[in-house]
Amino acid sequence: MRCATILAVKYFVILSLIFCLQLPPVSGSDAWAAKPKRNQPPSMSFILVRSADCLADCAEWVSAEGRITRDTPLRLKKILKQLNGRKLPVVFRSEGGEVDAAYAMGRMIRKNGLETAVGGTRLKDCPIADMRCKAAIAKDGTAAGLTYSGGAYCLSACPIALAGGTSRVASQWAYIGVHQITTIYDKIRVSYRIEYRMLNGRKHEVSRTEIGRRSEGETKSTKLGKKAAAALSTYLKEMGVSQDIIALMMSATPQTLRLLPTSEALKLGLITDMLASNESPGIRLCQADDPAGARCHRHGEPQPATGTPAESQPAPAAPGG
């Protein structure tokens, strides 16, 4: 019997993947055309806001604005803990981001029984150029302010998080847009020190130790694989959103965006009600026992939208590439 020990170094390429929806630049068409890339917008932040235009029975909401990243669900979890069981609406103004994070956010919102809306927030005394200025936010993370619909947007991965609301609202002046999911594969080269033993002319691995790794770039794909398709389909079913939205997502490349008129989003179940012209994002759904003057949005079927957002108002300025 012959026995010998051999050392060798081998290299392997590991592929890790991230599902994300990246916002394309903006124009005023149904599928938005690509423009040169710009800096990424800031990550999503959350602020507890109380209406600045009332003295009693004031509406309160969670303002959620910015790009959805891997750590956004953790930030949302912290703000929900701060709510201490209060069921405040979450008002989204976001250009999108990572799909898995949006799934986690939507499920968290649904589990806590919260409503969602598409809208922007302007904090009290903040300038137009910086509508959520730091100076207006108290040390405990709260602020006073107002919401608005005109020009507000929930795009790319944002509608996935929006779908988590028990009630989901938007006005005809807000923008809702979807497009294909991009899967990013990170290539990582991993080096191992492997010890073999030769036994009767055959090589047997004895030990394996990682000695280094380095990135070798990334590749992207917009093909909706079985795993991604199953995850999306399951999530939509959980949230009560029509599977028909998948075809609309796949009809727009990552360099374009499919705008959904409010009436179409309502038909798909992406939203459950359309705000009237005198209703603001952030007000809760009316309950059967609410008095006539309660600050809440109405029950029942909304009136049809008079045109798409793109036709009704100018498209918002691009929030970033």
Does the residue 299 lie in any domain? Answer: no
Indicate if 106 and 253 belong to the same structural domain.
Answer: yes
Does the residue 163 lie in any domain? Answer: yes
Instruction: Specify the pTM.
Output: 0.74
Q: Where are the alpha helices (DSSP H) in 131-275?
A: 158-162, 226-239, 244-250, 262-268
What is the secondary structure of 166-183 as a DSSP string? Answer: SSEEE-TTSEEEE-PPEE
**3 state SS of 3:** strand
Indicate if 22 and 101 belong to the same structural domain.
Answer: yes
Does the residue 140 lie in any domain? Answer: yes
Indicate if 198 and 61 belong to the same structural domain.
Answer: no
The residue from 200, 218, 236 where one domain ends is: 218
What pLDDT does 148 receive?
95
The C-alpha angle with vertex 279 and arms to 161 and 155, in degrees rounded to 5, equals: 25
Indicate if 209 and 235 belong to the same structural domain.
Answer: no
Indicate if 83 and 191 belong to the same structural domain.
Answer: no
Domain CATH code at residue 165: 3.90.226.10
Does the residue 232 lie in any domain? Answer: yes
Indicate if 95 and 191 belong to the same structural domain.
Answer: no
Q: Furthest-apart CA pair in the chain: how many Å?
A: 94
Q: Which domain covers residue 87, as residue numbers? A: 17-179+225-287+305-312
Indicate if 252 and 207 belong to the same structural domain.
Answer: no
Distance in angstroms between the alpha carbons of the first and the last residue of the chain: 66
Indicate if 109 and 126 belong to the same structural domain.
Answer: yes
Indicate if 172 and 191 belong to the same structural domain.
Answer: no
Indicate if 98 and 204 belong to the same structural domain.
Answer: no
Q: Please, are residues 214 and 203 in contact by the beta-carbon 8 Å criterion? A: no
Does the residue 246 lie in any domain? Answer: yes
What pLDDT does 21 receive?
54
What pLDDT does 299 receive?
46
Which residues in the chain land under pLDDT 70?
Answer: 1-39, 183-187, 218-222, 293, 298-321
Does the residue 154 lie in any domain? Answer: yes
Indicate if 193 and 80 belong to the same structural domain.
Answer: no
Indicate if 72 and 51 belong to the same structural domain.
Answer: yes
Does the residue 155 lie in any domain? Answer: yes
Does the residue 296 lie in any domain? Answer: no
What is the secondary structure of 52-82 as a DSSP string? Answer: SS-SSS--EEEEEESBB-TTHHHHHHHHHHH
Number of domains composing the chain: 2
Measured between alpha carbons, how far is 204 from 220 in angstroms, rounded to an integer? Answer: 37
- Give the DSSP letter of residue 181: P
